[in-house]
Amino acid sequence: MSAPTHTRPRPAARAGADSRLPWWALALPALAFAALLALILNPSDAHAATGDPALTHLLERVQRLMSR
């Protein structure tokens, strides 16, 4: 014997509370976009981070070893 092919219909999910985004889901990407846009428009405000001399020295040694 085979199993019945019809099933009971499931109730439709309510689209009320699950379809809304929290306020920060739109605010954070907009804030990040504005900050990056400000850096592009005024690059003099974006200063390069100074590297640690020990880390810089280590990276130079690794680069020299890899180039041999």
Tokens of 1: 């014997």
Tokens of 43: 């690059």
pTM of the predicted protein model = 0.38
Residues near 38 by beta carbon (within 8 Å), at least 6 away in sequence: 45
Q: What is the pLDDT of residue 28?
A: 94
CA 8 to chain CA mean position, Å: 42
Q: What is the pLDDT along the chain (68 residues), one digit of tens a residue?
A: 666 676 777 666 655 556 788 989 999 999 999 998 888 887 676 566 666 777 778 888 888 888 87
Per-residue pLDDT tens for 24-38?
Answer: 999 999 999 999 888
Tokens of 59: 């990276």
